A and B are shown apart, each in its own frame.
Chain A
Amino acid sequence: MKMMLVDDEERFLSTTQKLLAKKGIEALTATSGSEALENLRTQNIHVVILDVKMPGMDGIETLKQIKRQFPLVEVIMLTGHATVESAVEGLKSGATDYLMKPTDFQDLIEKAEEAFEKRKRLEEKIRVARTRTFMKSPREILRETEKM
């Protein structure tokens, strides 16, 4: 599993990165939405932990961009707000799950793994579908998968 942490708090990024590394999980970090998108373009990332409130491009906007450009990437929203409002908005825009600050590292890992499992299942389905309908374009395949 390859993860990416997106937050404007660098210390949070580095510490969490270390913790993840100790768990054997490779994690990239990005301090802004655009940096995150840049990383997604260059590397194969499975799960993104995305802070809702960031300067510049905020979490929701970044999420929408990610989902548009990299539909297969699983995104977990990290919200500082106790209201589920922003989380709900995130979920509506395609986020897999949400976490509330201050979040427990254990929770973070659990949710990330869940998301990764989901991603894996999805990829498996795509693979199976692709072998069946080799004539179809990936976009159509994806759409069909979503219907299932």
Chain B
Amino acid sequence: MPMKQGQYAPKSPMRRIILASMILVPLITFVLILGIGYYYFATSIETSTLASMKRIVEDHRQMIDSFLSERRANLEFVLQSYSYDFLADPVNLSNVFERLEKESNAFLDLGIFDEEGLHVAYQGPYKLVGKHYGKEEWFKEVMKKGYFISDVFLGYRRIPHFIIALAREEKGKKWVLRATIDTYMFNELVKKLRLGRTGESYILSTAGVFQTERRSGGNLMDKEPENINYPSPQEGIKTFIKEDIRGDAYVYTTTWLKNKKWLLVVRQQKKDIFKALSSAVYWIVMITMIGSGAIIGIAFYLTDRIVRRMERMDTEKDRLGDQLIRASRLAELGEMAAGFAHEINNPLQIIKSEQTLIDTILGELKERGEIKESEDLTELEDSVDQIKLQVDRCAQITQSILKFGRQDEIQSKDIDLLSFIPEVTKMVANKVRVNGISLREEISEDTPPIHGDPGQLQQVLLNLFNNAIDAILAKHGSKGGQLSIETKPNVNGKVAIIIRDNGCGISPENQKKIFSPFFTTKPVGQGTGLGLSVCYGIIESMGGVMEVESEEGVGTTFTITLPVSA
């Protein structure tokens, strides 16, 4: 089977599929998790922030409302408790004011007006007695409705303030009690609300004028620059987002105070509210980047490993396939050769008989003197001898072929290499000595036993020894030959037997064919070319491997690796 070159090359579809799935699957999951997490986190922050803003604005409104209604109740008490005449006396008014100040230090002054709007009595820091207020809007309003609370205005005093005025009808005559509320106090009360870093609260009049200072800029009595939408008086708490003149987005929460004249505004910068969220976004982006990088890196690494593993497995598979094909081819060839050899033996038998007959008849003829000794007769006899020789040679070939293809009953048993190898070397010891070869045996003491047919293993070792001796003789003649057999102990359940010679070596192209049947480098008539292929088959049938390593003119090493007996 040819190696599929580039099957897993960098741009192969297989590699791409593995890489894509290894990157996309975790990455999509990862991004989805982060995205969903972000969505719910953002939603929950938004909901909880808005809810808490609403709650805060509501609380704050109640507090401001109760401040205002308390002040009104204070004045109502004064109005109902004392008569116009009593309060018109500056001394009495001063006493009452003193008591009022004890109630709340928000009161700046206190004044009494008659029906016409004349300032009758006044207790406070200014000189307002005798001033006429009959034409003032607030006076008309209080005379009509009995109660009035003003927006913040400058008035005669030219400082911002607002007033609370109440009217009472006594003995057919109306009179008015008016108090000025300290805008500083009120301002502080409204302003004291703090939310996060930028959260602030302030009050706007229906005309969009600041009734209290805004911390982020917006003086008392200035026009509110953002022109926020006013809710209708019936509406409760309203939330919206609006950019201010500097371009910062704010989340507004507004609600009318009880008198419906003033709008309480609580606002906070959007980025302040979502500060936690933006830091979450920062981390999410960071994690996404690092995580994606890690995923992609790992994907590339693992894909590489997987692909390499697959390549290795493919090579292994190909190799096994090759081996299998080779083995079955060998078996087929063996069978065929055996059948062929068997059939050849019959005609050989006949030729041999005929030759014997010719020989016998020739002998008889000579004996009887019917043919005389002559050159022709000698030639004839030589020819007949040659027939016998060649038939014997054929017989030898068919014998080896039959041996190659034979399916002997294999008698497997445990073989102790420690005693087995010396027995085999003893068989060649004489031949080795005669040819002046030094034989070295290095059988490691801890060589484990193997399992197989001793006869077969002996055949293999003898074959290798004989080949080695032939190779040594070809190179060195009968001097300087070196032959060794050694064993390597158990490595991963395998034992190696190594036979090494310093003979003529095998050329690289011959090394490829060395285990093929009928391949021989020996002269005609001296080898059938079956020895090594038989050995190869035997070692393979024992579950082992036979390998050759050789360098021309230096020597050859055969390594047999066999599984250790279980």
Contacts and interface: CB of A to CB of B under 8 A. Distances in A.
B386 to A, nearest CB: 16
B469 interface: no
B254 interface: no
Nearest to A12: B350
Given A22-B364, A82-B402, A83-B402, A102 B342 contact: no
Contacts of A39: none
Contacts of B398: 82
Interface stretch (B242-250, B316-324, B351-359): B351-359
B350 A11 contact: yes
Interface residues of B, number: 25
B517 to A, nearest CB: 16
Given A12-B353, A80-B346, A101-B346, 6 more contacts: A9-B346, A16-B353, A82-B341, A82-B398, A83-B402, A104-B352
Contact of A18 (B352, B357, B395, B399): B357
Nearest to B361: A22
Contacts of B353: 11-12, 15-16, 19, 105
Contact of B406 (A11, A83, A101, A105): A83
B361 to A, nearest CB: 8
A103 B349 CA distance: 6
B360 A19 contact: yes
Interface in A14-59: 15-16, 18-19, 22, 53
Nearest to B342: A80
B348 interface: yes
Contact of B352 (A80, A82, A102): A102
Contact of B395 (A81, A83, A102): A102
Interface in A58-87: 80-83, 85
Contacts of B435: none
16 contacts: A11-B350, A11-B354, A12-B353, A15-B350, A15-B353, A15-B356, A15-B357, A16-B353, A19-B357, A80-B345, A82-B399, A83-B406, A101-B345, A101-B348, A102-B394, A102-B395
Contacts of B406: 82-83, 85
Nearest to A14: B353
Nearest to B408: A83
B140 interface: no
A103 B134 CA distance: 162
A128 B360 CA distance: 40
Contacts of B399: 82
Task: Tell me what chain B mostly uses at the interface: helix, strand, loop, or mixed.
Answer: helix
Interface of B: 341-342, 345-346, 348-354, 356-357, 360, 364, 391, 394-395, 398-399, 402-403, 406, 408-409
Nearest to A103: B349
B408 A85 contact: yes
Given A9-B349, A101-B346, A102-B395, A82 B403 contact: yes
Contacts of B349: 9, 12, 80, 101-103
Given A82-B406, A83-B408, A102 B345 contact: yes
A16 B350 CA distance: 9
A11 B351 CA distance: 10
A46 B337 CA distance: 37
Contacts of B408: 83, 85
A91 to B, nearest CB: 15
A58 B127 CA distance: 157
A15 B357 CA distance: 7
Contacts of B354: 11, 15
Contacts of A104: 352, 356
A104 B391 CA distance: 11
Contacts of B395: 102
B437 to A, nearest CB: 31
B417 to A, nearest CB: 27
A46 B352 CA distance: 25
Contact of B348 (A18, A102, A105): A102
Contacts of B403: 82
Contact of A81 (B351, B357, B402): B402
B357 A102 contact: no
A130 to B, nearest CB: 40
A133 B274 CA distance: 130
A53 B342 contact: yes
B356 A19 contact: yes
Which of A53, A80, A102 lies at the interface centre, i.e. has the most chain B CB atoms within 10 A of its CB?
Answer: A102
Nearest to B404: A82
B112 to A, nearest CB: 147
A15 B342 CA distance: 21
Contacts of A9: 346, 349-350
Nearest to B341: A82
A7 to B, nearest CB: 8
B356 A105 contact: yes
